[in-house]
Structure 1
Amino acid sequence: MANASLVVFTLLSTQTRAQEALPEIEIAVDAATKTPVAKEKAPASVTVITGEQIEKGVSGRIGDILKTTPGIYMRGSAYDLTRPGNSVGTLTMRGIPGASRTMMLVDGVPLNSPYAATIDYSTIPTTGIDRIEVVPGAFSSLYGTNAMGGLISITTKKPEKREFGFTTAVGGFATGNQVTGDSLTERVTAYYRDRYENGLGVSLNFSGSNSAGYGDEFATKAATTTSPGAASVVPVCCLQMIPTSSGGVTTLLGNRGERPWNTYNVRGQLYYDVDEHTKLTAGTSFGHSYNGYSAPTSAALNGAGFPVYNGWVSFLDQSGGLRRINLSDTSANAFLSFTPAGEWTSRTFLRGEAKIGDVTIKAGVNYTVGDAWFVSPVARSVLLAAPTGIWIGGPGTYSPAQQERMIGNLQADIPIVQSNLLTIGMQYQRERFDRDVSDLADHKDPYSKTGAVSYSTHGRSSTLAFFAQDKFDVTDWLTVYVGGRYDNWRTSGSTWQTRSPVQSSLPLFSNIYPDRGAEAFSPKASAVLTFEQLTLRASVGRAFNTPQLFQMYTRSQTTLTNYTDGDPNLRPEKVTSWEIGFDYRFAETGTRVRATYYENQLYDLIYTYATALPGGVTQNSRTNAGRARVKGVEAGIEQALGFIAEGLTGFANVTHNDSLMVRNFAQPASVGSRLTFTPEWMVNWGLAYSAGPWSAELNGRYTSKVYSDDQNRDTFYGIPTAYDPFFTMDTKVSYAFSENLKASIIVTNLLDKEYYQFYLQPRRAVFGEIAYHF
């Protein structure tokens, strides 16, 4: 949309959650500077979501908490009722798509995986959170890689006294079974916090969920009007021709089955105050998710009324034309899916802070280890035996992604004079991954490994970085930040492939990739003018994103006939960003407005292009081919509505992204198209009410069409694999029986919208929740 239309939306901006009363702006935040600073003096348009807001809101997962935050688009495992896994969840921030390009942290420990910088959002704990700081903009100047779009920093509650609490919720779809599942879902959270007289504190948190799942993925396949020759053709009914998202035609064969799943997260932390100026914190967490399997449902019914899953079938399409289709050709059965699948991550950290004179020293180390695995069927796999519906099974492969990261940090905050604070620091980071693809006797049983390995790949990287930032209060109303970070990145890897009993026709290769590296300098400068009711901000900076280990050294299977090869010579992606914005607070009316205009110029974007191979196989390759730009605005309003009803507040915000692919020598046809997974418009609004024992929240959000195709050809809506524009509403109503006991009713997708974000999204669901604490 033209820039003139953007200006219309620079009138307003806001925090994302309406509250009991609009809080004072004198909130201390630290993610944008790595030192505590008043929120109105922060060099970014920081959105703060408090623990109290999370408890009152509809907050099953982290995406439910962040979904009305300006500038953020999330999908997949970020939201409640959707199945877990890093491969089905992603994040776009400030129009920059991809979870690897936005950093997410819990208590300073990165959540982006060492292997692919993706995140299994379902395992992020939403209990025991003190606050979440959403900090948009280029922040490699302090954080290095993964901070192109910004960062999301979660801070957990520190123990101040003895507290214990738990919540339990049970619910499911309110409109009957969704496709083939009832999605009965149970959630439990519990916490214990205590502070002892000797300065020791402890915090224990648990969250877990279990769901029967639902059928979110459909089996489709192109039909033909040609004869299959001597093959036996079974006449069937009930198959439908539907459009593809890019305007082609395919056949809807049925549903690939329910995806039962479960997740849990355990976190424990110790706090010890040695004295007033010296504090130690140690913690560990373990998160786990699992996607199960259930039999698919075929829409093809033979003359006896039994479903058909294998072989050639013929049917009449909607216009009466005779069509034929092979349900189990050499590319493997159309009903097969990449489940079961699972993921686990363990994170441990030790952090200390000491004040020596006027200088504050901070040091820490954290260690992350985990695995993300999935199964793959092969062409010889057999599906259901009709009419009995018995699973026969078949061979497959087991693909893990064992990964590890270690980070050490050292930082000093040095007051030069009363109005000047210098922050200097260094960081060392080391990452590795190993993947050995094993044969499975039965691809639905991950424990049926035969011992044969057909593919092996390994990758290593290390980064040594130094950073500095100077915060200078020029006057009482003007603060200037100037800083930068130098990163030296090294990487190496190897990969080989051989034949195995299951993978008997693979091409053979063996490669060792020598050590190589790159350097990056990420400067940033910001100015903040603060008056009694007005804050003005401006900043400019550069950021980068190193190639992920999986992008360089691994072959990933996208579908049964589609795979992507790594490129060991990929370079870091880069962005130059600038923004300007304001906050204004109307003391008389309890109104706050905020607006930010930003531009991102992206270079050396890692791009995937496709090559068609014999046998209907598609090979995808990666390269640094893209240049793009994003122009955007975030705007909104937050208002106390006591003149309507005491205890009522409201908010509204809008984000507009004008994204454009400027150059792409790997796929020239994409030039001039919008960036994938970057919505042009996002509009959010909400009301919150609190009076006596009652509290309630109602939120709505609209997200315009996003494209998964780099040429923006996927324009059809309301069909499997499409990305639909959508508007949904959620609500939560709570009643406190006492200071300790509260009951709530939660309704998600209140309007019962049916829409796709590649997978079919959850319809209306209702939960009952009980929370107790003392």
Structure 2
Amino acid sequence: MLIAKFLRLSFIVSTAAAFLFPTFAAPVRPASVLVLSQREEKGRIVGSVVSAEDGSPLVGATILIQGMVLGTTTDARGNFTLKDVPAGKHLLVISMVGYRRAVESIRVPAGEEVHVRIQLQSTPVEEAPIVVTASKHEQVAQNTPVSVSVMRGKWLDDRNIVTLDRALRYVPGVVVTESQVSIRGSSGYSRGVGSRTLMLVNGVPMLTGDTGEIIWELIPVEWVDRVEVVKGAGSALYGSNAIGGVINVVTKDPSVQPVTYVRAFAGLYDSPYYPEWKWSSSHQSFGGWSLGHSRSVGKASFFASVSRTTNSGYRENDYYQRWTGFGILKLNLTTSQTVSLLADGLLQRRGNFLFWRDLRHALQPPDEQLLQRVSSDRWTLAPMYHYVASERLLVNARLMIHSSHWEDNINNPGGVGNWATTTLLDGELQANYSSVHGMLWTFGSEFSGSRVRSNLFGNPHGWTGALYAQDEFSPSRAIRLTVGVRLDLLKQDTISTQGQINPKFGMVYTLQEGTALRLSAGSGFRVPSFGELFTTTSASGFRVIPNPRLKPERSWSFEAGANHEIPSLGVLDVAFFDNEFWDLIEAQFVQIMTNGYTDYVGRFDNVTRARVRGAEISLRTGLFRGAVTAEFAYTFLDARDLQTNDVLKYRPKHALYGSVGIHPSWWEMGVDVRYLSRVERVDEEFVKLGIVRNGDARVPIFVTDCRAVFHVTPLGFPIDVGLIVNNIFQYNYVELIGNLGPIRNYTAYLRASL
């Protein structure tokens, strides 16, 4: 049924494309004339990118032709080739981490090959990087009309990040409550259901089909090039779940030369701050290893890894044991066509810690939770197709299949309690077209469908189909405008079909080289997950009932900001934002009559007309030629329920992040600091009804992490040895009601590339 609907939508898009593409394409000519014309009108750019300091080749530098879809990266020798370049004058934009971006003017004669050698000057602070998530094509981050934060893979490596949610706690404007991520106050907390942030890996959605949540253990942290965080409603390009923003993990390309990657780590939790919190006579431990390999064979290249991690848990019954795998296979069919396959998998067994017994037993759950466990098996396959049809037309297509099965023993200690099996199918056809008039079009179609079998949600199914288009153009040399719209049709089981139209507008005004002002507005929406619509369960004396009358959430996001590159010093970014929400879905306590008695139960309702306003400022700087680097970010948030004039739950008003690093030649040291003001509102009903004892205990969050990394080559290949102390001052805090945050812990790791 899902396949049939997908094929029908593909037929509609293909028919529309038959009418659209003649508008963009050149008039049809005989094949012989066309071939002769291409030989006369096109040329090649062959070149190399090297360091201006010592002339060494730079591997992985990005080269783009401004105003076109043509682009490439340098190989292991720093060389690159751009084929089928139209004759004439072009601007090459060259960028790389740790080097100042360069713009070179190149004239390409018809039918000839031009050779260039480009030198990049090192810089202590990374300038505006190349990003792909904001507009579904490569562009300089400073040229996007929305805020985009970028976290490099090295940041994850140096801190031995095991799951990405821990790293996101240090991204400006992002707050993570336990496992739920919130961008600029878009989300509070709903355990295990719904996400107002769309999670992607190389553009492939990574949300579950039943509860609509992010499974962080399934997101790769090995072989990561960068993590892009787009802030504000992104539904005009990405549809549902992008109501608060988009996070995209962009992995490295498979290497040309054989590379084997090894990582191993081990750690211990310290004793709790208060002796009465100690629940075991021994220290709890954690550890794991990862093994990966990348290489090219002929026209094929790949990266594949497997990881094993275990954690006995600093809280009782909060252990986990997991296997994860991730891989990318690429095959170059021709010089302009590439097919690839992304795959990942997770096998996990863990305990279940919902909340503490009371404050005197903050690291122990109530007795009924002690034997609870959850097991899950998940995998994803995503074939993709990339076609450079011409110097102005780029086509991408993908299909994603995600399968998951999880079960617990809640309410049935001797067997299976709740369980769900889900299949999710998602496909997209996208094109980027750069016109001769300087317009850059992005348009496409997307379809997703899911089917669930569960004793928790029933057996629902649903589908979504969408068409979208976006145009970017410059009415003057200093101004770049973006307009776009997306139409979504969605069906959730027995609920009637609904439609959503989401427009967007953006403007970037370049005051001078390295300084840009931005302005954007866009609408967003989120379809309620099956978990919010149909959950029927009980746990720890608390019952949840379904609500099939839920409506999609809606929003409008507005932003005004500025980005300024301070020569030889750093990058300053300032943003002011206003997010308006309608029909926000929140978990509520409601009264119902059961056998003549009044009972309090949980249910998801459209209850809130909300407004989230605030400001964000961040600074990245470097001193002494990069020997010392620092990053600081501050976010102010005014998140309010306009119906009750009360603050929204789990939204801290102030968030301050800081990071300082020292980088001599063979060792590094660093400190990360995170401060969140005391959350003004939580789920007070859990406290009033006696479900979570001492649940109103909470303080501001002030966490300091320290690290040291040593780069050595004792065996002729590079080895990194790291030592980490997290929460070095043993600060006690809660992110979520009745859940004490991680206590001080120590990690030692070894990482090598062979």
| TM more than 0.5 | yes
Shift of 1:409: 0.6
Shift of 1:566: 1.6
Return the alpha-carbon distance in structure 1 between the equivalents of residues 237 and 628 of structure 2: 39
Matches within 5 A, 1:241-390: 257-292=316-351, 335-337=368-370, 339-357=372-390, 358-377=392-411
Amino acid at match of 1:426: S
Return the alpha-carbon distance in structure 2 between the equivalents of residues 26 and 636 of structure 1: 13
Shift of 1:55: 1.9
Return the alpha-carbon distance in structure 2 between the equivalents of residues 47 and 718 of structure 1: 39
Selected match of 1:52 from 151, 154, 159: 154
Return the alpha-carbon distance in structure 2 between the equivalents of residues 143 and 297 of structure 1: 38
Shift of 1:172: 0.9
Alpha carbons 2:517, 2:561 under 8 Å: kept: yes
Amino acid at match of 1:726: I
* Greater relative contact order (Cα < 8 A, sep 6+): 1
Shift of 1:487: 0.1
Return the alpha-carbon distance in structure 2 between the equivalents of residues 360 and 205 of structure 1: 30
Residue 206 of structure 2 is matched in structure 1 by 111
Alpha carbons 1:95, 1:632 under 8 Å: kept: no
Shift of 1:640: 1.2
Selected match of 1:618 from 569, 582, 600: 600
Whether 1:476 aligns to 2:477 is yes
Shift of 1:710: 5.9
Report Cα offsets for 1:275-334 as digits up to 9, x if no partner.
Answer: 22111111211023221379x9999xxxxxxx9xxxxxxxxxxxxxxxxxxxxxxxx985
Alpha carbons 1:708, 1:714 under 8 Å: kept: no
SS at match of 2:658: strand
Alpha carbons 1:139, 1:543 under 8 Å: kept: yes
Whether 1:66 aligns to 2:165 is no
Residue 137 of structure 1 is matched in structure 2 by 232
- Identify if the C-alpha distance between structure 1 residues 297 and 608 changes in structure 2 by more than 3 Å, giving closer, same or farther: closer
Amino acid at match of 2:569: G
Selected match of 2:520 from 539, 554, 557: 539
Alpha carbons 1:481, 1:525 under 8 Å: kept: yes
SS at match of 2:651: coil
Residue 672 of structure 1 is matched in structure 2 by 645
Amino acid at match of 1:476: R
Shift of 1:395: 5.9
Shift of 1:119: 1.8
Residue 147 of structure 1 is matched in structure 2 by 242
Residue 724 of structure 2 is matched in structure 1 by 746
SS at match of 1:678: coil
Residue 556 of structure 2 is matched in structure 1 by 576
Shift of 1:477: 2.3
- Identify if the C-alpha distance between structure 1 residues 425 and 179 changes in structure 2 by more than 3 Å, giving closer, same or farther: same
Residue 320 of structure 1 is matched in structure 2 by none
Residue 278 of structure 2 is matched in structure 1 by 179
Whether 1:433 aligns to 2:459 is no
Q: How many residues align?
A: 608
Report Cα offsets for 1:600-626 as digits up to 9, x if no partner.
Answer: 110011233323456785212333221
Alpha carbons 2:652, 2:679 under 8 Å: kept: yes
Residue 126 of structure 1 is matched in structure 2 by 221
- Identify if the C-alpha distance between structure 1 residues 522 and 287 changes in structure 2 by more than 3 Å, giving closer, same or farther: same
Whether 1:415 aligns to 2:434 is yes
Shift of 1:565: 1.4
Report Cα offsets for 1:135-172 as digits up to 9, x if no partner.
Answer: 10110000000001101000111112221111111111
Scaled by the length of structure 1, the TM-score of the pair is 0.74
Whether 1:188 aligns to 2:289 is yes
Shift of 1:121: 1.8
Shift of 1:515: 4.8
- Identify if the C-alpha distance between structure 1 residues 580 and 338 changes in structure 2 by more than 3 Å, giving closer, same or farther: farther
Residue 550 of structure 1 is matched in structure 2 by 531
Amino acid at match of 1:697: G
Residue 14 of structure 1 is matched in structure 2 by none
Report Cα offsets for 1:568-599 as digits up to 9, x if no partner.
Answer: 12111000110000011211x51321110000
SS at match of 1:344: strand
| Structure 1 residues without counterparts, runs of 5 or longer | 1-16, 77-88, 216-256, 300-306, 308-331, 379-393, 438-455, 493-513, 664-670
Amino acid at match of 1:696: M
| Structure 2 residues without counterparts, runs of 5 or longer | 1-96, 100-121, 189-193
- Identify if the C-alpha distance between structure 1 residues 113 and 52 changes in structure 2 by more than 3 Å, giving closer, same or farther: same
SS at match of 2:213: coil
SS at match of 1:142: helix
Residue 452 of structure 1 is matched in structure 2 by none
Whether 1:628 aligns to 2:610 is yes
Matches within 5 A, 1:584-603: 584-587=564-567, 589-603=568-582
Return the alpha-carbon distance in structure 1 between the equivalents of residues 98 and 367 of structure 2: 47
Return the alpha-carbon distance in structure 2 between the equivalents of residues 365 and 597 of structure 1: 37
SS at match of 2:642: strand
Q: Which has the higher mean CA deviation after the structures are superposed, 332-341 or 707-716?
A: 707-716
Shift of 1:396: 6.9
Alpha carbons 1:58, 1:732 under 8 Å: kept: no
Report Cα offsets for 1:34-83 as digits up to 9, x if no partner.
Answer: 1111111122211111222322235232123222111111132xxxxxxx
Alpha carbons 1:338, 1:374 under 8 Å: kept: no
- Identify if the C-alpha distance between structure 1 residues 605 and 270 changes in structure 2 by more than 3 Å, giving closer, same or farther: same
The Cα RMSD (Å) is 3.0
Alpha carbons 1:18, 1:688 under 8 Å: kept: no
Whether 1:168 aligns to 2:267 is no
Shift of 1:467: 0.1
Return the alpha-carbon distance in structure 2 between the equivalents of residues 552 and 108 of structure 1: 27
Scaled by the length of structure 2, the TM-score of the pair is 0.76
Return the alpha-carbon distance in structure 2 between the equivalents of residues 525 and 366 of structure 1: 29
Q: Which has the higher mean CA deviation after the structures are superposed, 465-474 or 262-271?
A: 262-271
Residue 711 of structure 2 is matched in structure 1 by 736
SS at match of 1:53: helix
Shift of 1:267: 1.1
> Identity over the aligned pairs, expressed in percent?
21
Return the alpha-carbon distance in structure 2 between the equivalents of residues 718 and 687 of structure 1: 39
Report Cα offsets for 1:454-496 as digits up to 9, x if no partner.
Answer: xx7111111110000001133332111100100000121xxxx
Return the alpha-carbon distance in structure 1 between the equivalents of residues 719 and 586 of structure 2: 52
SS at match of 2:455: strand
Amino acid at match of 2:332: D
Alpha carbons 2:98, 2:125 under 8 Å: kept: no
- Identify if the C-alpha distance between structure 1 residues 403 and 556 changes in structure 2 by more than 3 Å, giving closer, same or farther: same
Shift of 1:25: 2.6
Shift of 1:337: 5.0
Amino acid at match of 1:144: G
Residue 696 of structure 1 is matched in structure 2 by 669
Return the alpha-carbon distance in structure 2 between the equivalents of residues 39 and 471 of structure 1: 15
Shift of 1:714: 7.3
Report Cα offsets for 1:498-549 as digits up to 9, x if no partner.
Answer: xxxxxxxxxxxxxxxx351210001000001122131111000100001111
Return the alpha-carbon distance in structure 1 between the equivalents of residues 167 and 415 of structure 2: 38
Shift of 1:26: 5.0
Shift of 1:722: 4.1
Alpha carbons 2:708, 2:724 under 8 Å: kept: yes
SS at match of 2:147: coil
Shift of 1:707: 5.0
- Identify if the C-alpha distance between structure 1 residues 272 and 18 changes in structure 2 by more than 3 Å, giving closer, same or farther: closer
SS at match of 2:237: helix
Amino acid at match of 1:185: F
Return the alpha-carbon distance in structure 2 between the equivalents of residues 567 and 711 of structure 1: 22
Return the alpha-carbon distance in structure 2 between the equivalents of residues 692 and 563 of structure 1: 58
Report Cα offsets for 1:193-239 as digits up to 9, x if no partner.
Answer: 1122x220011022221011232xxxxxxxxxxxxxxxxxxxxxxxx
Selected match of 1:642 from 624, 627, 640: 624
